[in-house]
Each structure stands twice: as C-alpha cells, then as structure tokens.
Structure 1
C-alpha cells in the first residue's frame, strides 16, 4: 500500500490558501480545481486530458431555519494524500480491486457564524472524481435539516444523454436518448404511467446519468455510499446544460435530518474517452466502506429458478389463493373461495424443485405462498402481509424436507406492498421463520405508495429502511434481493448480503408491452454502475398469447445477458418446460459462472452494443456475452484475455442467419472451435440479438474433429 499524507501548515502557507487548490489523478489525465469566489462561495471544475468535463460549478447546502452552507466561507485548512492499495470483495466482477486515488480535503469556515465549519473531501481516481460534504462535531453545528443540496454539474456542452425522468418513487421508466436541449420537449412522452410514480415537477432526470460529448468523451454522474441521506435526482437547465442536485423530500418537504458527526454520500463523475472504461470503472464501489461483517462465509452467489414468470404470461397463474377482494390478516383463509389458478401450491413447487435439482441450480423462488395477496395491489393499507402464514395449499414443512433431500433451498419472497412500517414491525419474526425452515435468501418487494404515508421510495427514511433490512438479515445469515428499492450506490461492498437489486425496468416488463431492444445496451452504463441487478433473464419462449405478447430479443441475446447484465444472483426466469424444448441452449445457463476472477470489456457503445468477457473465479473457464440494439451488427471479439500458449475449446451460441427479435427469434446455431489468445472472431448479431460463448480448457480427445478459429 502506498500512502502519502501532506499537511499544509496554516502558519507557513496561509497566503497559498487564498489561491485555487488543484488536484490531478494518479495517471495525470484528470485534473480538478477547487476555489472560493470573492463572496466565499465554493466552486470546483473538472478536466479530462485538457478538455472541460465540468465547468466551474458551485458547492454547498441550503438549510432550514439556520444560515446556509453556501457562502461566506474561508479556507481554514487543506490536506492532501495519495492512496494505492487493493482489496478483495466477497463476490464480484473481479477477485481483486485496485483502489488508487489522490485526495484533497478542504476545511471551510464561516467566520461570521461563530467559526462554523464543514469539510469537502475530493478523491480523484484515474477514472473519475468523487466528492462529499463532511459535518464534524462542533459547538455551532449539532442538528440540522437540509432544505436542498446545492451541488452543481455545469456540463461543457449539449451532450447526448441516456435518461429516465426524475422521480421520487420509481426507476422503472424506459430510457430515452436525446440531446440535453431536447429534454423539455421529450419529457412529457417519456413520463409514462408507472405504479406509485411521483415525477418531479421541474425538469429533472435520474442518476446514474450517462452522457456522450460531441468530441467523444463519456461522462457518467451518480452517487456512492448512500446512507442516512435522500437519494439524488438531477435538475436540468436545458438551455445552459447545467445540472444540480435534487434530493428526495419527506412527508413535510424536508430533504434530510442530520446530526454531527455526519457526511453526505459521494457525488461521482466517471469520465473516459473509451466507453469500455466506463463499464470497467470500480470508482463507485471503491468509495464505499469495507464490509461491516466479521463473518461472510455464509454469503454465496445464487443461481435460481422460480414460481414467477407464470404469473406474468397471459392465462398463467395467480399470486392469490382466493377470489375475494376484501380480506384481513386475522380472518380464516381456509374459508376463502379458491381461485383455481394459485401458482404457489405444494404440488407445483415440487415440480420446480425437481427441475432445479436435476439441472444443478441452487434455489427455487416461490412468490404468492403467503396470505394476503387477494387485495394487496393498489390499496394503500398497512397490514397486508404477516410474512409467516402460508396459504392452505402451501405446506412449509413438507416443502422444506422435500427441497433439503434434493440439496435445494427455497428462496423466500416478502412483498411488503410498500408498507415499510408493517414490515419493520414483523421483520424479526419473519427472519426467524426463515431460519427455522431453511431459507437463507429473500426477495423483498416494495410495490405501491410508501407507508409511512407521504414518504418516498428514495427518501432518507426509506434509504435507512433498506439498510436496516440488510443489516438485520445478516444477523440471521440471510441474503437480500430487493425490488422497487432506491437504485444502488455500491453498498454491496459494505453489506455484501445485499446481494442484488432490481431498481430498474426489468424482464417482467417484457410481459407488459415489451422492452425496446436497445434497453439492455443502456443499462450497463446507467443502472448497473451502482451495483448488480436482478434482471431475471433467460426467456426462451419469446411470444405468448397467440403472438400478441412478445419478448423483444432473440433467444441467444437472453443467454448473453448472463454475462453483460452482471449479478451474483441470476435467475433462469422462463418456465421449465420451455428449457426442456431447447436443452442445448439451456446448457449455457447451466454452465455460466456467477462469481468472477476478472472481467474484460471488449467493445461497447451506450445504446448500441456491449461485449464483455469474464473469467470464472478459481477456474480455467471464461464466458463471453455480446448484445446489440434493434440493428444487426458484427461483434469483433479478440481472445487475448486467454493465457498465452494454451489452447481452449469455445462453444459459440449465435443467432441463426434468419433470426431477429421480431421475426424468428428462436433461430440459433451452436458450434465448437479451438481458440487461443491470438484467435479473433467476427460474429454476426441479428437485430435485437446477441452472442454467448463458453470457453474451457482443451484436451487432446476434446479437440478431435474441431477446427481452429
């Protein structure tokens, strides 16, 4: 570990503190400057290889009932340090992550306010800038309320931007691609109806915000380590291309309640002239604290199937056991009139367990097993579920034994209907129930308007709730996969049992009008910047309801998602019978790893295509995934990530010559070839299609009859 600390003595260098403070990244490509205006307003800017990324932009906070922290500052102290070390994540895209940055810590004092002071900490990495506000304990700053954070991002031009509308409650909008100046005209059409949405009234977009400049720079703005603070949207001035923070308010309109010693999340700006460098960035996870747990041996990646997709397809099953529309938790559910369509029955779950055990999966998710689903949706009521009482046709003890005898686990499902107060009251009992019956992972859901009423999914109260659930789950050695939660900010480093999130428009929307083919060429640059996503890929039957319901990908693109849509939690989301129809393609899902030694970003352009290779942790196995948008293209794949001088067998799953997302999507080919580090592949991807490759060590017998690529 390389660590240098330089203190600027106030007595010796006081005149220098009046000048701007400059900081460069370790490789010198990025440079930032911090300075105060004549009025004591803090500013920063950021350049990449001499090109402006962020023009001079203000920093500060507006407070309630007390003077704000946005002007009247003087520099009291400046500290610098350089850090170069590495650490090993519990699971991840790499087994070792380098953490290399130069830091500038500026202490600002407001002399007219009895020397009240704050600190702004800047960390400049080779791939971007992170900075945050710090509020140390002091006589004149104990408790305070944030009215708004005043951080600005003054962009250098009218960039191309991949965006979803600013909202306090949902991240599930489809992406729109436009110029920043086009946002006002496109916002009404982009703000489609979503469950429990709360669009921001002024012009705003969500983070991560991905942009490309006219001269070829890629810029990504987000946040890291979001704890005890409200989630950030970005106000947009479409005329001046200036963005600024817009924090999610609470029920009375306040943006946050802090007590010193405290700090904000990191504001992050990832920058490169290569799109693949954006995907490769570890800056956000590096800005999070190391794991809070002493023992992490129980945290394992999970490949699962589930009683899930059958709820979404036309004519499928139902979450609810009964047909009634007005039920209470204390009533006798055995007296409900059965719907005849309930999916989470003992008999049906056993079929899924059999299939999962036969094909080497780890777990079976079961949704709709517990009482309360009859009138949960759209009713803003508090006591919907108790999380421990099964329906009459779901035998917990029998299924526990059945799964255990086959080496399987059942994955718990806790839909809260966004009643977080009810969930917190019942949380320990629910987790104890899981521990007593062999469940070690839970999928949580927050569909609906939040209770406590007036709070929002992305507000400070709920941010603290999600973390509380993860920490409490760890006490029971339970892993958490949260849906409809605030978008991730790298906290899986600190709480590695928070193994995945949804927090974006996922596969379920393929059953509700479909996703545009470019959607999954954007998500790696936006939603996945903060952490892994439970995207639920693997849909092989791409049309339903006599062709009226369509999944807008080829079958092979669904395979590629297991590499391009990174997650240590991966679902084979389709019905078992559809995998049995395509056993040779299903083999890739069975084989593909969940945890990785390294990742290689081969080619990418947001909104167009992504091709990634990854090495399985502890194995001589590699997997490649490539996806394209609605346009057919040729993926150019080099294999120089393989060890030199060795031969390997690559199994290539490719779109058929006549394939496309909307015509013949199930057409595919599989071929096996010999490859080495010098091999190159030019592979055609169909419109809305992809390519998936598995690579294993070659043996003499295995290479017989195979051609070299």
Structure 2
C-alpha cells in the first residue's frame, strides 16, 4: 500500500492512499480528512480527471458521511476474473484490477468498508456493511459524487419524471441526449440524468454508470443539479415502486454490499472497447443455458403498426425471417385478442418447422401505468408468471418482450429479477421494453437478451422531428447507452417510413445492426422494403453474425461519427456512420486485417447502394455521405 502524509500543513493529520491501475496510467487517491469526512480523486497520466469527490452513506440508524475513523487499510492485491457473455461486444472477457479495502467506523463505532478496484480501463468502488443484523437497515442518502473541472463537457440524457409520458409509463430512458454541454448545467427534468453519463475532461473520456444490484438496492441516477461540475447520486422518485408500500430506496439486513460505482476512463478507444460494465456485474446464476441463443428477428409492428398483428401477416413475417436466414419473429401487442392462444400455438408450430422461434409481447402493467394493451397483468405474481411461462414453454414459444415498467425503486429491481428467474426456469428468453438500463444484469441472467432503454426506431415513425435527430442520436449511442449493455433500438429501414421523410441514407441504416449491440437484433425493415435492395445487401444481412468475438474502435466522436470493427470467427465487419450534414472522407487504420473486403455504401441516387473492393491498410480512405454510412465485410 502507499500511505502519504502532507507534511506540516493544516491537513497534516489527513490520511491519504493511492491505488494505481496495473499499467500505472490511472491513479486513485483515497483520503480521510482529519475532520472525519472521506474523499477520492482520479488522475490519468498524472493529469486530474476527477477533483476531490465525496464518499459516504447515511442510514436511518447511522451516519457514515462524517466523523469517520480509519481502522485499517488492506494491502493492495490483484483481482482477476474471466467470463463468457453472448450478448456483449466480446464473447470472452477478462478483467484485472488492483484492489484495496478501507475499514472504517463512525462516531458510534458502526463499521463500513469501502472497496476500490482500479483496472486499466477505469475505477470501481462500492460500500460494504460487514456487521450482522436481522433488523432491516435503510439508506436515506448516498453521498457519492463525481467532481469535474468546470471546463469539462457532458453527453447526457435527462431522466424522465415518474408517471409522465404515454399512459403514465415513464421513466423509460427515452429522452434526447444533450450534446457536449458544460458540466454544471442542470437537467431540464427534476429527476436528473441517466446512466451511462459520458464526459470529456481534457484529453480523457469518462463514462459513469453502476452495476446491477442484487435485490437489496434501488437503481440510481445522477442528480439534476451539479453545482460547479460536481455530480451526485440520486435515488428514484416516490411513485417508482411495484406496489404501495413496497421498497423504494435501499433497505436490507446486514451484512450488505451496495452496487459498484463504475467510472470508465481513457481514450474513446478505451471506452468503446471496454467491458467494465459487465466485468463488475454479478456472475451468471446457475441455470440450464441450452436454450440461450442470440439471433436476428423479423418484426412487423414498427413500420406496419397494430393492423399487422394478425395471423396471416405474422405467418408472412415468419416466411420472411426464414428467407433472410434469421432466427426469430416478434409478435407484438394484442396478439391474444387478434390471434388468440390457439392460433398462436399453430403459428409457433409453423415457425418451428422453418426453424424460426416466436417471441410474444406482454404488458407488465400493474398499477404503475394505464396502458390498456394486452396481454396485461399476467406476470405480476409468481403463481401467474409460472402458469403463463409454462403455457408458453409447452407451445414452443422462445421468448417474451415485456413492456411498460414503472421505475427504478428497489421493488422494481426485484420484479425484473423475479421475471428473469421464472423465465429461465421455463427456457424463455427475455427482452424488457419501456424499461430501465440493464446495468450488467445480462451477465447475471444470460436469458436477458436485450432491453430498450433508448429512444429507438419506433419514435422515428411517430414524428418527423424525431427522425431528423437520428444522425446525431445514432452517432451518440455507441459511446453512451450501448457502451456496456445490449440495446433494443430495432434498427434499419432501407426503403420507406410511412408518413416520414427519411433523414439518413441506406448506407447509414445498413451500418446500424453492426454498430448497435443487442442479444436479439429486431429489424424494422419489412419484406416489401427488403424487395427493393440488391442481392448483395440481402446476402450480407443473411450472414450477419448474431454475436461477436472481438471489437476494435477505429474512429469517431460522439454525435459526429463512429467507425467500429467487430469480429466473428475469422470475419471482420467494419461499420461507420456520419452524423453530420457534410460529406466526409475518413482515413481509417485497418492494418490489423489481412484480407480484401467488400464495402457496401451509398450510391449516387437516393436509397441506392454501391459495392466495391477494399484493401485494408494503415491509411484506408473511405468516403461517407452526409448522414451516410458503410459496411465492409472482410472474409
């Protein structure tokens, strides 16, 4: 361990420790002031990234934010982990960090540990109450803060207020990102800012998020107010509970671990290639994983809307999925009324003969929203869930899409996990919509294929203003919402959006399924739209991998452009999009690829494609239209 004292100054009694990353590039300073308050700060390459920031908690029965004493500090040790994850940017993942634990007590002698782990791509810390108690303890305040210099900038999404929006269905993480705003600017919504929150501090990029708690903590967000660039943790709003009187803020018996606070740190390349968000998540629970299959899915509703949820149209979309060599077909809301269980079973049997799995939509809704769409309320209790999932398993249904959740209170954290566990017991894959951020939950429950938590394709079909934002929006997502967790944006329209003027080119749209990560990728395009594209585009989409082995960040800047390479087996897919209004010529370093590739990009005419050969080099030139894009496939 490194213990530093500050000489003959007013802070002579401060106790200060440093923990560095394995490559020595990151350095965390942990300190206990002689006044009994805690702080930490963060440097990268000897340059300040986070200034002195707060640590501590307040329970109803005990204050751990002041009058603290340091009992001891552990030696710095190396902690490692390795795991496999099919819904991530990399199938095989390894984690190495330097770890130090600080043992503290408050004014009454109650104990608190703070655990720091520093890896080459960031910092994680969490709190631990080591004492034993069967009395439920409640946390009222988490004092944790992230203190940026005032010249830092943020790419942040406001958090919607609870019980607002369509049929009182917020919060659902579907607001527009604010681009490169000055730190300290208040959120326009009192609920605050969502994770992941992206910041630029000089030459360093920072992503702030948290790992999924088990069942004894709520999900959190950043406070709406960040005076002088200091962002603090905020708990959910009052209505964000599963039922009246259910747990909102954190409560648990002791001992008790809080979730990891995660700070991804480095270049944009470091941020985009990092798996820190799942590295700190709880490992996979023991379950039969034989049914877990990432894939690609047809989906009628996003462009054809409610009238498409009928037997004949869904049968046609199953045929479409088969023709495209995809894996699933999603049947959306009101299937129970417009098709019915008996005919859905017939449809599932038809799909099975074609090796296509059906996914069915459900309304999660209890008392927290007024959305009338059905099936509704069938998943609220364990008894009802088990009955429904058993019925689906018997019919051969492969997955469920569950929509319209009610918030981030601790009781909702428990509800998400109850659903995932019962679904796993019946070999059902899960997609949560109108929902919170995954926060690494997909590692703990591998049957969690994806979650929406984004202003996705469906919003483009509602308003022209939403469509007009897509070039900037989509070039922000890989650095923010999708940086650690799977995201069900439901990408790709290659022809027309009814009643909307397209703002992006076909090259842009074709790149999205490569750039955006989702355990099941639901495609928006219809059979009719697909009939307008050339055969080589269809062939690329037929052979597009459902999961990835590796990732490389090639080029980009949030809201302006992004180019990412993904590998499956020996094949590399390099995809890029231009979020700006001018054509660009990009110089890309593709020297790590050793084979000639085929590039599909925008042709001279609107909604057209052109294909060409690409020989990779350190200076590969690619021209990209305004709001355009490309995909290069290297066999």
Question: Normalising by structure 1, what TM-score?
Answer: 0.79
Structure 2 CA distance for partners of 1:293 and 1:624, relative to 1, 3 Å: same
Structure 2 CA distance for partners of 1:117 and 1:392, relative to 1, 3 Å: closer
| Preserved CA contact (<8 Å) 1:344 1:394 | no
Structure 2 CA distance for partners of 1:85 and 1:45, relative to 1, 3 Å: same
Aligned to 1:183: 185
Aligned to 2:527: 576
Aligned to 2:327: 362
Partner Cα distance (1:101, 1:224) in 2: 16
Aligned to 1:107: 103
**Which structure is richer in relative contact order (CA contacts within 8 A, separation 6 or more)?**
2
Partner Cα distance (1:103, 1:308) in 2: 48
1:286 to 279, 282, 303: 279
Aligned to 1:69: 64
Partner Cα distance (2:341, 2:433) in 1: 26
Deviation at 1:521, TM superposition (A): 1.0
Aligned to 1:12: none
2:546 to 580, 594, 598: 594
User: What SS is found at the alignment partner of 1:398?
Assistant: helix
Partner Cα distance (1:17, 1:404) in 2: 71
Residue 388 of structure 2 corresponds to residue 430 of structure 1? yes
Deviation at 1:226, TM superposition (A): 3.0
Residue 348 of structure 2 corresponds to residue 400 of structure 1? yes
Aligned to 1:550: 501
| Preserved CA contact (<8 Å) 1:400 1:410 | yes
Q: Deviations 1:197-235 (Å, cap 9, x if unpaired)? A: xx52xxx3222111112x222111111123332222212
Partner Cα distance (2:490, 2:364) in 1: 20
What RMSD over aligned residues (CA atoms) do the two structures have, in Å? 2.5
Partner Cα distance (1:418, 1:162) in 2: 34
Partner Cα distance (2:601, 2:248) in 1: 52
Question: Normalising by structure 2, what TM-score?
Answer: 0.88
Deviates more, 1:681-690 or 1:362-371: 362-371
Q: Give matches, 1:529-678, under 5 Å.
A: 529-545=483-499, 549-584=500-535, 585-616=537-568, 619-631=569-581, 632-643=583-594, 647-648=595-596, 650-657=597-604, 664=606, 666-671=607-612, 673=613, 675=615, 678=617
Partner Cα distance (1:19, 1:416) in 2: 50
Partner Cα distance (1:566, 1:220) in 2: 18
| Preserved CA contact (<8 Å) 2:590 2:618 | yes
Partner Cα distance (2:482, 2:421) in 1: 22
Deviation at 1:401, TM superposition (A): 2.2
Deviation at 1:85, TM superposition (A): 4.7
User: What SS is found at the alignment partner of 1:118?
Assistant: strand
| Preserved CA contact (<8 Å) 1:559 1:588 | no
Residue 300 of structure 2 corresponds to residue 307 of structure 1? yes
Structure 2 CA distance for partners of 1:555 and 1:417, relative to 1, 3 Å: farther
Partner Cα distance (1:573, 1:137) in 2: 52
Aligned to 2:479: 525
| Preserved CA contact (<8 Å) 1:149 1:245 | yes
Deviation at 1:430, TM superposition (A): 1.5
| Preserved CA contact (<8 Å) 2:476 2:559 | yes
Q: Give matches, 1:443-458, under 5 Å.
A: 443-446=401-404, 450=406, 457-458=407-408
| Preserved CA contact (<8 Å) 1:346 1:393 | no
Partner Cα distance (1:236, 1:542) in 2: 38
Partner Cα distance (2:346, 2:132) in 1: 59
Deviation at 1:162, TM superposition (A): 1.0
Aligned to 1:499: 449
Size of the aligned set, in residue pairs, is 594
1:135 to 121, 129, 132: 129
Aligned to 2:204: 217
Q: Deviations 1:10-54 (Å, cap 9, x if unpaired)? A: xxxxxx997212100001111011111222111111111111111
| Preserved CA contact (<8 Å) 2:184 2:225 | no
Residue 219 of structure 2 corresponds to residue 231 of structure 1? yes
Partner Cα distance (1:398, 1:40) in 2: 68
Deviation at 1:124, TM superposition (A): 0.5
Residue 266 of structure 2 corresponds to residue 266 of structure 1? no
Deviates more, 1:415-424 or 1:257-266: 415-424
Structure 2 CA distance for partners of 1:567 and 1:635, relative to 1, 3 Å: farther
Structure 2 CA distance for partners of 1:443 and 1:419, relative to 1, 3 Å: farther
Structure 2 CA distance for partners of 1:142 and 1:70, relative to 1, 3 Å: farther
Larger Rg: 1 or 2? 1
Q: Deviations 1:88-126 (Å, cap 9, x if unpaired)? A: 33453223212110011111112x42x210111111011
Structure 2 CA distance for partners of 1:460 and 1:69, relative to 1, 3 Å: same
Aligned to 1:693: 632
Structure 2 CA distance for partners of 1:302 and 1:435, relative to 1, 3 Å: same
Aligned to 1:297: 290
Partner Cα distance (2:326, 2:86) in 1: 21
2:173 to 160, 171, 189: 171
Partner Cα distance (1:100, 1:570) in 2: 31
| Preserved CA contact (<8 Å) 1:403 1:409 | yes
User: What SS is found at the alignment partner of 2:221?
Assistant: strand
Residue 434 of structure 2 corresponds to residue 441 of structure 1? no
Structure 2 CA distance for partners of 1:586 and 1:227, relative to 1, 3 Å: same
